[in-house]
Amino acid sequence: MIFRKLTVGPSDTNSYIIGSNITKEIAIIDPGFESDKIIDEINKIGAIPIAILLTHGHFDHTMHLNNILKRFPDIELMYNKKEYNSLQTDLKEQDIEILVDLMDDKKDNIIQQNNKKQAIDLLIRKGLYVNIKADKWLNEGDIIKIGEFNFKVLETPGHSPGSLSFYSKDINEIRGHLIEGVIFTGDLLFKRNVGEFDIPGGDEQLLYQSIKNKLMNNPDITDRFKICAGHWGYTTIGEEKILNPFRKYFI
């Protein structure tokens, strides 16, 4: 199996490269920033990128999407249609610091109270959605085949309306650790944390319902599933059932 985690950009977003050592086909999950770093890694592996999978449309997961599409013109872009907005305008570099501070919940320290509205307006206009149409709109239950691996799509809203998670039972080892599957959760569930919901498009109740119904109570997903989240380190479903400080809301 081909597996790489690249932590990129000012929000330390986890971008993933995953695929087959047999066919060399790979998917790129959430190419947020530092597209050169992602492209260099793909070239080093000698892989064939066939899909970009977006867990959601927020800028820190999609900022360098265009660069990847230009470099690999045959690649297919896949995400949920609720994350698409053709009127969304492109972010400029000077916008990034404001939005990173907002999304990192540093509003009180970095952004003065009278500038919060301006930052949120900027997020809504430029940072929430993808303005490039997907080659394939993804919905609950869709199967994405990457080499010999099948990834199943879960609709997991809460952090954003069209947030998705991708899981596979075909992967039984990552970096020497034996597992029973892997799930890419985007900004739904992290190691010892959950995704933000107090932002435009977020919904606290939906977020906890998504974690409970789609992950914790999913008969396909066991405690030994590796969680590869959009930020921070690896964890497992079993660990989060026991150690996540918000577990009372989703267990």
d(CA 156, CA 174): 24
Does 158 lie in the same domain as 96?
A: no
pTM of the model: 0.93
Of 4-8, 58-62, 117-121, the poorest mean pLDDT is in 117-121
Per the domain annotation, does 132 fall within a domain?
no
Does 171 lie in the same domain as 71?
A: yes
Is 232 in contact with 182 (CB distance < 8 Å)?
A: no
Per the domain annotation, does 110 fall within a domain?
yes
Whether the CA torsion 66, 89, 111, 159 is positive or negative: it is negative
Does 110 lie in the same domain as 12?
A: no
Please give the pLDDT value at position 107.
Answer: 45
Does 151 lie in the same domain as 58?
A: yes
Does 153 lie in the same domain as 41?
A: yes
Q: Which of 24, 31, 40, 39 is nearest to 9 (CA)?
A: 31
Is 216 in contact with 250 (CB distance < 8 Å)?
A: yes
- Per-residue pLDDT, averaged over 147-175, amounts to 97
Does 223 lie in the same domain as 184?
A: yes
Identity of the residue numbered 21: N
Of 65-69, 124-128, 153-157, the poorest mean pLDDT is in 124-128
8 forms bridges with which residues in the sheet? Answer: 13
pLDDT tens, 79-116?
A: 999 999 988 888 877 778 777 776 665 444 444 555 66
Per the domain annotation, does 174 fall within a domain?
yes
The parent domain of residue 58 ranges over: 2-90+137-249
Number of compact structural domains in the chain: 2
